[in-house]
A = this chain, B = another copy of it.
Amino acid sequence: MAQEYEVIIIGGGPAGLSAGIFVARQKVACLLISKDLGGQLNLIPKLENYPGTIMSSGPLLAKTLENQFLMFGGEMIYDTVERVDEIEGGLKVKTSRSEYITKAIVAAPGKVPNNLGVENEQTFVNKGVHYCTKCDAPFYQGRTTAVVGVGGYLLESGILLSRMASKIYLIYKGGALGGDKDMIAAIEKKENIELVPQSSIKALSGVNNLQSITLVDNSGKEKSILVDGLFIEMGSKINLDFIKHLVKINSKNEIETTVEGKTTHPAIFAAGDATSIPYKQIVAACSGGATAGLSAFNYVEKLKGKPGIRADWKKTIGDTVFHY
Query: Which residues of A pack against B, CB within 8 Å?
Result: 14, 17-18, 21-22, 25, 44-46, 48-54, 61, 64-65, 67-68, 71, 134, 152, 156, 159-160, 163, 180, 182-183, 186, 259-260, 277-281, 283-284, 286-291, 294-295, 310-312, 314-318, 320, 322, 324
Bound CA–CA A230/B282 (angstroms): 43
Number of copies of this chain that the complex holds: 2
- Contact residues in B for A49 (Cβ distance below 8 Å): 21-22, 25, 68, 290, 312, 314
Bound CA–CA A43/B251 (angstroms): 43
- Contact residues in B for A51 (Cβ distance below 8 Å): 14, 17-18, 21, 65, 68, 286, 289-290
Most buried by B among A44, A67, A68: A68
Using A49-B22, A51-B14 as known contacts, say yes or no to A281 and B287 having CB atoms under 8 A apart. yes
Using A159-B320, A290-B283, A314-B48 as known contacts, say yes or no to A64 and B53 having CB atoms under 8 A apart. yes
Closest Cβ of chain B to A261, distance in Å, is 9
Most buried by B among A22, A45, A280, A284: A284
Bound CA–CA A134/B52 (angstroms): 22
Most buried by B among A44, A49, A54, A180: A49
Q: Say which residue of B180, B290, B311, B317 sits within 8 Å of A156 (CB atoms).
A: B317
Bound CA–CA A186/B316 (angstroms): 14
- Contact residues in B for A314 (Cβ distance below 8 Å): 48-49
Q: Say which residue of B152, B163, B259, B278 sits within 8 Å of A278 (CB atoms).
A: B259
Q: Say which residue of B159, B288, B311, B316 sits within 8 Å of A46 (CB atoms).
A: B316
Q: Say which residue of B52, B259, B287, B322 sits within 8 Å of A53 (CB atoms).
A: B52
Q: List 13 A-B contacts (CB under 8 A).
A: A18-B283, A25-B48, A53-B53, A54-B67, A163-B318, A182-B320, A183-B322, A186-B320, A259-B277, A280-B310, A281-B294, A283-B286, A284-B290
- Contact residues in B for A160 (Cβ distance below 8 Å): 317-318
Q: Say which residue of B68, B159, B281 sits within 8 Å of A290 (CB atoms).
A: B281
- Contact residues in B for A278 (Cβ distance below 8 Å): 259-260, 291, 295, 310
Q: Say which residue of B259, B286, B320 sits within 8 Å of A52 (CB atoms).
A: B286
Bound CA–CA A144/B54 (angstroms): 42
Most buried by B among A18, A67, A311, A322: A322
A257 — nearest CB in chain B belongs to which residue? B259
Closest Cβ of chain B to A60, distance in Å, is 9
- Contact residues in B for A46 (Cβ distance below 8 Å): 315-316
- Contact residues in B for A48 (Cβ distance below 8 Å): 25, 68, 314
Instruction: Check if A183 sits within 8 Å of B320, measured CB to CB.
Output: yes
- Contact residues in B for A54 (Cβ distance below 8 Å): 64, 67-68, 71
Bound CA–CA A12/B287 (angstroms): 19
Closest Cβ of chain B to A242, distance in Å, is 25
A21 — nearest CB in chain B belongs to which residue? B51
Instruction: Check if A156 sits within 8 Å of B186, measured CB to CB.
Output: no
A17 — nearest CB in chain B belongs to which residue? B51
